[in-house]
Amino acid sequence: MASFFHELSLIPMFCFFLLLPHIAISQRIISVGTGIVAGDDKARGHWLSPSGDFAFGFRQIENGNSFLLATWFDKIPEKTTVWYAKGRGRVPKRLVVPKGSKLVVTSDRGLVIDDPKGGFSWSTDTGASRVTHGFFEDSGNFGLKKDDKGTAWETFDNPTDTILPGQEITKNGVILISRGSGSNAIGEGRFQLYLQDRTVQLRTVNLPGSYENEPYYSSNGSDASTNPGEGIGFNGSTGYLYILHQNREKSPLTTGSKVVSGQDYYLRSTLEFDGVFIQYSCPKSVSAGERKWSAIWLVPDNICNNTSMERGSGICGYNEICTTQLIRGRNACGVGDPSSSQDEVVLDEVANINWPTSDYALLQPFSEDECKISCLRDCMCAVAIFGGDMCWKKKLLLSNGRYEFDTNTKAFIKMRKNGSEGSPSSGSNSNNTLIIAGSALLGSSVFLNFMLMGAIWLGFFMIYHKKWSRFFKDESGLDVNIRCFTYTELEDATNGFTEELGRGSFGRVYRGDIDVGNGSNSRTEVAIKKLDRLFQENEREFKTEVLVIGQTHHKNLVRLLRRSVDIEIGGEDKVILADWAYDCYREKRIDALVENDEEALSDFKRFERFVMVAIWCIQEDPSLRPTMKKVMLMLEGIIQVSIPPCPFPFSTISTV
């Protein structure tokens, strides 16, 4: 009987030893000094997890001689990468090493990568801890144990763009960063998933800086002050993502999604390059279905329609259109690169100018050289403003340009190189013009003042000096092609109006001879009609007479060659405005020119100055007329206006 009970007591111990193989294979141990080589044909350049589901090591990039240090699913055809090492720098990129690089587990520096020549390339940050060994779990987590049995470093604490079942990331702030695409395929993407108290948010970043735009997605959450969140986790048994709170409570993030067992399916949640956070499943066996990833939950559900950002370049970037593919769960952007050829444009540097309302992107922290390069590569950028460690990129149309002497900033204005033709961007239209943004800063006050004074001067003479300067027209609109003569020319032609031929109802006719411009030296004998006065009722009769004679051609009728008409003013003492105005000035009664206009007479000295300037401007001798610049200075009272002489020695009205 005693032997029977003794045998029964051995059963628990026997069961314990049966469980030891299962406990041992859940974690693979990598001893200190063990290493792998990238591209080694004789040995695999990676370590496998105990189940073989995951691999950790060097992964070749597109059949080239470059490799990534990564973790990936090894049993499925796609061999999806779920973690990768990042290089050093302000904006880290995926660590790319050449063939022949070696990864070794060391006791003092943790994981260390040396290049083929033995030079240092990368290492983990283990601090002062001494590493005893490395481990690789079936969950996909690779880590380093330290001498006090704690963990010195592990991939689950340094996520990239993917969360795996069993992973719990306890930190506020950025949790996942998407991968790059297009020309930035090896770098980090512009989308981030981060935890803000209890709310999970998605947002964009202005690359290559770190300035964060407003969120384009936020999860629902209660008052974060009572139970703030401190991390995000992935429950492998239920397949749900959750938010971990400070009191260790868990609130589900993927509510309402399809539940998939972690025993039959591989699971992962990835922040994709296009900004969508997606939970995927893939059958572990062929019998469970086709072995490829299927989306079972995602946010936002439709990134093109459910997001609206007032600042930044939007979800897909500038000059791109967001489209939703037919397969549920895959929203895609055209992978474009808003870059222009740097060989066709240059940057002109101007200090202390700014267009405060035209910026579309802020890059920070940034150096001056990085600001220049970013603007040169961006076809949307017309001007970049740099100050401190901030770079504002601005696009056309530039508005509210101004000098800001107290800001200590620099403006880099994009200009086309001399002699360059075509568009600086291969995709832009050929009618793009040079960006001459500096002209926007030129003040228009001088030009406006010039136009204002010119309008005042012109308006004064248009109101009080209505001149017949156009050809006569009959009622049918036909022009009479006759030229105006000056009074002096007519006086010379008639020898001072000495030989009178006849007299009409409102004028006298004199004999004269004149050169009509027919190419000969001989002069043509003409008849010149000189009006005694021009009353209002005689105006139509006079114009009709000139019109009829000018259009009539008869052998017994002399041809009307030209006519000379001065201004019509009511009253016999105001027959010629120029003479009359000068007489008013000389007799110091210029108030008659404006006929008791109180506004004009309110500043009499100013009005008198205007009249004197006007008399200087109508001098018959061109050498006496002032330049326009001098006219402006005289009108503004900057220079003294001298007493003008008589504009011409005669004053009358004459017609040919």
Binding residues for ATP: 530
Q: What are phi and psi of 466, to 5 degrees?
A: -75, 115
Closest-CA residue to 579 (of 459, 463, 456, 465): 465
Q: What six digits make up the tokens of 316?
A: 């897909």
Q: Which of 654, 470, 474 is nearest to 549 (CA)?
A: 474
CA dist 441 to 13, 55, 355, Å?
89, 61, 10
β-pairing verdict for 35-37 and 524-531: unpaired
Q: In whole angstroms, give the CA distance from residue 512 to residue 352.
A: 72
Judge contact between 537 and 627, C-beta under 8 A: no
| Sequence-distant (≥ 6) Cβ neighbours of residue 341 within 8 angstroms | 424, 425, 426
Contact of 177 with 192, CB cutoff 8 Å: yes
- Going by the annotation, the residues of the binding site are 530
Give which of 170, 221, 167, 215 is closest to 192, Cα–Cα: 215
DSSP strands (E only) in 364-482: 383-387, 390-394, 402-403, 410-416
Closest CA to 167 of 257, 269, 261: 269
Q: Strands 27-31 and 131-137, how do they pair?
A: antiparallel
Of the candidates 198, 187, 254, which has an alpha carbon nearest to the alpha carbon of residue 221?
198
What is the 3 state secondary structure string of 270-323? EECCCCCEEEEEEECCHHHCCCCCEEEEEECCCCCCCCCCCCCCCCCCCCCCEE
Helices 445-464 and 604-617 cross at an angle (nearest 10°) of 80
| Contacts with 125 (C-beta within 8 Å, 6 or more apart), sequence order | 110, 153
* Residues forming beta bridges with residue 271, ordered by sequence position: 277
Which tokens sit at 79? 């061999």
Residue 66 corresponds to which amino acid?
Answer: S
- Contact (Cβ atoms closer than 8 angstroms) between residue 271 and residue 241: no
- Please list the alpha-helical segments (H only) found in 26-66: none
Q: Are 147 and 120 in contact (CB under 8 A)?
A: no
Alpha carbon distance 619, 326 (integer Å): 83
